[in-house]
Structure 1
Amino acid sequence: MELHYKITGNGQPIIFLHGLFGSLDNLAGLAREFANNYQTIQIDLRNHGLSPWSDAHNYQLMADDISKLINQLGLNDVILIGHSMGGKVAMQLTGRVAHLIAQVIILDIAPVNYLHDSHTNVFNAINAGLEAEVENKNQLHTIMGKYLDEATIQFLLKSYKSDHWLFNFKAITEHYTDIRAWHEISPYRQPILFIKGAQSNYIIDDYYGDILTQFPYATIEIVEGAGHNVHYDKPKQVIALIKNWLD
């Protein structure tokens, strides 16, 4: 699969991997902060953004996609920064191309099988828009407002262009269990940074053991006042943590 990506700058490569229903633009704020000193590579994961659609969607396949792109671009000494679903992709990559990875930063996700469905309202909102056969973004916004808060609506609408969704909603719906899942990998015995939003329940105390089983040398930093989109809620704090980690 030939993924869509954007490269800026020169130097040691940093790959940015977005979360569910997102695109490469979701981590653009972080990428801009590092483009002067690194080569930043923002990627649309399969079934998202401008990357190809597929009926198949799981972490093994997404990790394969990124591994192939790393080899295609001839990268090594790679820094991985992944949020949510993209964070799980980054974690899976440590079990595939560890020899090409220099650093890993995971934004608010753990290597666990999430049993709780945290996207019910999102699925309901998108389905409602599809069933109503809306003709423009304003109509869609009104319908989604019955299910979602304004911040979530604005996030989703970034992936609504030319009156259609850029993500493959059918594949995401059919493979949502795979997206919540985690498949164990060999322990990655190198330092790795997890950044948790204090108000998020994606990394709870019960998951610390799971993190340390897969990543024995993990460091977990907590950002106060931030939720799951920790890089959006508190960008200065997250950038400072990443820069300190890389230094």
Structure 2
Amino acid sequence: MNLNVEVRGKGYPILCLHGHPGSGRSLSVFTNYLSKRFQTIAPDLRGYGKSRPNGHFEMNDHLTDLTALLDRLKVDRCLLLGWSLGGILALELALQDPQRFSGLILIASAARPRGNHPPVSRQDLLYTGVAGIINYLKPGWQWNIEVFGVRSLFRYLLYQQTPLAYQYLASDGVSAYLQTSNAAQKALSKALRSGYNRLGDLNRIEIPCLVLAGAEDKHITAESSQETAQHLKHCHWQCYPNTAHLFPWEIPDRVLQDIDSWLQKQPQATSNG
């Protein structure tokens, strides 16, 4: 299917892939910055955002869609950046067509993803709903964070309960959550039940890689991200203390600086050569 996509900036292309739930807009923390020097391509995956699915689909359909998107945009070679599920899809693309991609940035992702999320109670769900509604109406309100946010499921997504992080939740998170289809949820659940594990294939990836993780991530643990980094041949690993799964919204300046530094040290990651 033709994916809805936001293309910004000029220069070497970077394909930016969001997580679940999510949309291309969820990656604005990266695209707002990187599009000043590069061309950022941020699609809504099938079943997410404005890319509405026609019935049920499999996870492999995302790869078909993304390959077709790059062909449609006449992108012969690009850098991959993926957050969470987007990182897994980026890994799959790099394994599927290694000559098409020049570098790989994984954000809170893993080739053998493991989580340690505590059980979810009804109170968790109640507080999350209240905190989310209030935050949508008044983004980053400290009172809401202190009264409802810290008692909600947001405490597992954001270790640092800051107004900035909650502003990102309001602007880039709520609409993405509401637009995530049942078909997308079912496709992901089926894939997770199959026990996804690509560690044994990572030695085939020859391009430079950057793996970033939050030390307190309950959804995809830092340990599983580090395990992935250790299996990649040309990889730099960075783990941020006191952050969780949405750490790019907690410490955006630090993350962007580290990506910048890596890009400067790995010029081949943004080169057609």
Match of 1:244 among 248, 256, 261: 261
Alignment partner, residue 223 of structure 1: 240
Structure possessing the higher relative contact order (Cα contacts under 8 Å, 6 or more residues apart): 2
Aligned length: 229
Give matches, 1:141-220, under 5 Å.
Answer: 148-149=153-154, 154=170, 156-159=173-176, 165-173=178-186, 175-179=188-192, 181-184=195-198, 185=201, 187-201=204-218, 202-205=220-223, 208-213=226-231, 215-220=232-237
Task: Output one character per residue of 1:202-242: Cα deviation in whole Å (capped at 9) or x when no partner.
Answer: 244366444433x2222211122321112111101110111
Q: 1:157 to 1:208 in 2, by over 3 A?
A: closer
Greater helix percent: which structure?
2
**Residue 61 of structure 1: CA displacement?**
2.1
Q: Aligned partners of 1:115, 1:17: CA distance in 2, in Å?
A: 20
Structure 2 contact 211–225 (Cα < 8 Å) conserved: no
TM-score (norm 2): 0.71
Tell me which residue corresponds to 2:106. 106
| Distance of 1:209 and 1:147 partners within structure 2 | 30
Query: Cα distance 1:179–1:243, how it changes in 2: closer, same or farther (>3 A)?
Result: farther
Q: Assess if the C-alpha contact under 8 Å between 1:223 and 1:234 holds in 2.
A: no
| Counterpart Cα distance in 2 of 1:121 and 1:216 | 41
Q: Secondary structure at the match of 1:82?
A: strand
Structure 1's 35 and 118: CA in aligned 2 closer, same or farther, altered over 3 A? farther
Partner of 2:42: 42
Deviation at 1:174, TM superposition (A): 5.7
- Tell me: CA distance 1:167–1:68, structure 2 relative to 1, closer, same or farther (3 Å): same
Give unpaired runs (5+ residues) of structure 1: 130-136
TM (norm. structure 1) is 0.78
Structure 2 stretches lacking a partner, 5+ long: 138-147, 156-165, 265-273
Residues 28-84 of structure 1: per-residue CA shift (max 9 Å, x gap): 1210111121111111011100012141131x2212211121122111331111100
**Is this contact kept in 1: 2:205–2:233, CA < 8 A?**
yes
